[in-house]
Amino acid sequence: MVEGDITGLDYDEISECIKATTKFDFVHVHKKKDKSFGHIHFESWEESSRFYYSMKDKHFYYDGDKERGPIRFYGVTYYNYTQKVVYKMDTETANTGTSTSVIEISNHNDINEYERSKKRKITENMRKSPKISESPVSVLYGLYEDNHTFNIVLHTPGIRNKVDLLVSSVSNKLIIIEGNFSEKSVPRKSIKNFLPIGPFKAEVKLPSGVKTISVKIEIEYGVSTVTLEKNTYNMDKIGEKNDEEVLTWVAQSKCKKIEEYIELEDKLIGPSNITKPGKLPIRINKPETRVPAVFYFLTVFLMKWAGLAAKKIIEEYIECHVKAEIEIERMEYNKKMAATEFDELKWKYDALSTAFDKFKENSADSSLTNGLIITDLEGRIRNLEADVTAKENIIRNLQADVTVKKQIILEKSEQTNMLWEKIRDWKLKWKSLIDDSRKDYLEEYYAEKSRDITFYDIPVYWSDEEIFNSINTTVGLIECMRTKRCHKYKTVKATLRLTKKYEEIYKKGGVNIILNRKNRTYYVRMFDSRWAYAEIKNTFRWQVCKRLEEDNQQDDCAVIRYFAKTYGATFGKIIRVSGTRHIILYFSTEDKLMKAVMDSIKIYKVGLELLIKKENDFIDDTGELKEFNKTAKWRNTTTSRSHGLRMEREQYEGTPECFASSSRRH
């Protein structure tokens, strides 16, 4: 680890400076620009050991600028542990100064609450001393994830125990997995041997950060699985609500229209999982329970408002809980750094003590000189002992702080659980408001379960209230409804419980719905909202059209009933082009369509018979059926195929109420 006054330098700048100063080769330096420390990565343990023992007692300045302060090198700790890595050199290397060191990594601490892997120990393969230029074998891996964890799967033949793998991190998004492939001893002559031998390494880049305190390793049949827990904390700030607006709203008695409640609920509360804005779970028009509507709306609004306040309290408790966890992690890091400094001071203290003892034995003849040196050494030892004592006190204080924070977290968790219990009680109380008589009424006249139904061909001049009342009275009990406008028609998607009559029609595949408005009957289509646009288009692709004679004075419904019954159509509708009425009939099969066309030829004159209408054909202003010209350019075509397809899709999916453009789709 490199540390010093290097804040503001990125990894490229500090890498060039270290290479130019130390003359050592390494892979790269991982450092964030706003940090004052970084980690140096080497190709092998041997190179990292040589670097450590060569540079641990030295320092240098960035570009010779002494005002920035010195830059020093330190040892590192294991990933997810407080135990420091101990670099050791054998006796031959220590005496000769050669680079044949063997790096041994000491054992880790015990398992923690996140089931981290047990003690690990990795040493370089003693059967062969790798060259400095030799790089670890790069192994393939698979990366998987679920809602809470990342799983890294590697093929590691020969690895049987968790202690044979080392997991380290460059950052919370870059994980390095290292180990050693051992050589299997076979007492025979080797002809070919392509088995991997020696150190291996896998660098895994994660799509998001992970917690640095959660690692789990599993090894089975030569396959190693490393599990890392995601860092899922993302606390959004809670917006403040304007309480004065609620008081003003109640004081001014804005209780006359449902739209006012819906607008205020959407603005102050937002979507609710209990009821829709402006909706009541019970009927308010029964004679025996009739009360002013304002009390119902005000009661529901205040219940939602109280729920929102409780939600805000819970989120504040959760935010405090998460902040406490972050503070504990920060104190753990400070504790780790203090322990590292303590080890450094202790090592220096031991070295000075040893030198002091040897010096006293070999300097009996130079009493005066020895006395001065001994006094200096004793002063340094006393200073080091004071530093060690201070660091021990810091560690004890940090441990006490961690204990206090854990107790606070436990208390906050208990309060949160109590709030959730109250919310569950409120939900049960709300569900009990529906009485038994209401349930009996629903079971007698309506289907058992609700369905999502889309209604097609509703005239655009119908208001939403008229649509709601007509469907609710005729088809079924609406729970939720929304409308979209498309030029001539409205598309309505509703969640409702169909009447038993329409439930039977729906199950048999029927599509016809009869709606009434101002003593007039309208025919519309219904189908499952889960149908894709292609399914709807395929179902209604067999079409014919006919221009009605001007002397035909029957109303639209009578004309539709006559033609549908005469020619066996599944559905029909009337359109008007330049004041002339035209009827469009839909058939379930091509055979029925052709039979209807042949029958009409026998009855009507030329030009008045049923004409086959393709999907994108249109009726022009003169009343003639026109076919789309594919060779014409879009700018010069009155109605193009893409235009027709777009308008049909808008009729299915719907467009905003404010959208309206000219179209000839029928």
Q: Of 118, 103, 127, which Cα lies nearest the Cα of 198? A: 127
pLDDT at 213: 55
Residue 629 in this model has a pLDDT that exceeds 70: no
As a whole number of angstroms, the distance between CA 109 and CA 254 comes to: 67
Mean pLDDT of 54-59: 79
Q: What is the mean pLDDT of residues 64-85?
A: 71
Mean pLDDT, residues 345-351 taken together: 86
Q: How much is the pLDDT for 103?
A: 29
Angle, helices 11-22 vs 45-55, to 10°: value is: 70
DSSP string, 59-101: EE-GGG-GGG--EEE---B-TT-SPBP-----HHHHHH--S--
- Please report where in the chains the tokens 């007698």 appear, as a residue: 444
For the stretch 281-334, pLDDT in tens is 555 555 555 556 666 677 777 777 788 888 888 888 887 887 788 778 878 877
Cα separation of 319 and 325, whole Å? 10
User: Residue 143 above 90 pLDDT?
Assistant: yes
- For residues 163 and 120, the answer to whether their CB atoms sit within 8 Å is yes
Sorted by sequence, the CB contacts under 8 Å of residue 496 that are 6+ apart come out as 450, 451, 453, 471, 472, 475, 476, 477, 478, 479, 481
Least confident interval from 394-403, 418-427, 475-484, 525-534: 418-427
Q: What is the b/e burial string over 330-353, where b = at least 16 CB atoms within 10 angstroms of the residue's CB?
A: ebeeebbbbbbebbbbeebbeeee
Q: Which residues contact 612 (CB under 8 A, 6 or more apart)?
A: 543, 544, 593, 597
Distance CA 551, CA 558 (A): 15
DSSP state, residue 616: T
**Residue 132 dihedral angles phi and psi, to the nearest 5°:** -65, -35
Q: Which residue has the tokens 């709606």?
A: 515
- pLDDT the model gives residue 302: 78
Q: Which SS3 state, helix, strand or coil, does residue 504 take?
A: helix
Query: Hey, which residues does 149 pair with through a beta bridge?
Result: 229
pLDDT for 153: 94
Collapse the DSSP code of 152 into the 3-class scheme (helix H, G, I; strand E, B; otherwise coil) and give the result: strand
Enumerate residues 6+ apart whose C-beta is below 8 A from 573.
457, 523, 560, 583, 584
Hey, what are 396's tokens? Answer: 């004890």
Task: Among 209-223, 234-248, 499-513, 649-663, name the one with the lowest average pLDDT.
Answer: 649-663
Q: How confident is the model at residue 132 (pLDDT cuts 50, 70, 90)?
A: very low
Q: Please, is 171 exposed, middle or buried when counting C-beta atoms within 10 Å of its C-beta (0-12, 13-18, 19+)?
A: middle
Residue 542 neighbours by CB distance under 10 Å = 21
Select from 590, 597, 577 the least CA-distant residue to 665: 577
100 pLDDT more than 50: no
Please count the other Cβ atoms lying within 10 Å of the Cβ belonging to residue 655. Answer: 17
User: What is the Cα–Cα distance from 560 to 517, expressed in whole angstroms?
Assistant: 17
Q: Which residue has the higher pLDDT, 396 or 432?
A: 396
Q: How far is CA 38 from the centre of its chain?
A: 31
In this structure, the strands spanning 137-138 and 198-205 are: parallel
Q: How many CB atoms lie within 10 A of CB 575?
A: 14
* Count of other CB atoms within 10 angstroms of residue 567: 20
Q: Which residues pair with 522 in a beta bridge?
A: 515
Nearest-angstrom CA–CA distance, 182 and 135: 16
DSSP structure string for 528-542? ETT--HHHHHHHT-E
Query: For residues 488 and 460, is the Cβ–Cβ distance under 8 A?
Result: yes
Q: What's the average model confidence in pLDDT over 528-544? A: 83
Asked whether residue 167 carries a pLDDT value surpassing 60, the answer given is: yes
**% residues pLDDT > 70 (the chain):** 72
186 pLDDT more than 80: no
Going from the C-alpha of 615 to that of each of 460, 540, 555, 627, 644, the distances in angstroms are 22, 9, 27, 10, 9
| Helical packing angle, 258-268 and 293-362, nearest 10° | 0
pLDDT, greater one: 657 or 188: 188
Give which of 99, 121, 116, 127 is closest to 42, Cα–Cα: 99
- So what's the pLDDT on residue 96? 40
Q: Is the pLDDT of residue 152 over 60?
A: yes
Structural domains in the chain, sorted by start: 115-184+192-232 (2.60.40.790), 243-431 (1.10.287), 452-500+512-653 (3.30.70.330)
CA angle 483, 488, 492 (to 5 degrees): 20
Look at 165 and 212; give whichever has higher pLDDT.
165
pLDDT digits (tens, 9 = 90+) for 477-498: 888 888 888 778 888 999 988 8
Higher pLDDT, 10 or 78: 10
pLDDT at 270: 66
**In this model, does residue 271 exceed pLDDT 50?**
yes
Looking up tokens 């698979």, which residue turns up? Answer: 142
What DSSP string runs through 255-275?
A: -S-HHHHHHHHHHHT---SSS
Query: If phi over 0 gives left and psi between -120 and 50 gives alpha, with beta otherwise, what is residue 256?
Result: alpha
Comparing 41-50, 277-286, 413-422, 637-646, the range with the smallest average pLDDT is 637-646
Residue 500: partners with Cβ closer than 8 Å, 6 or more residues away: 445, 446, 447
Mean pLDDT of all residues in 622-627: 76
Quote the tokens at residue 323. 């902040």
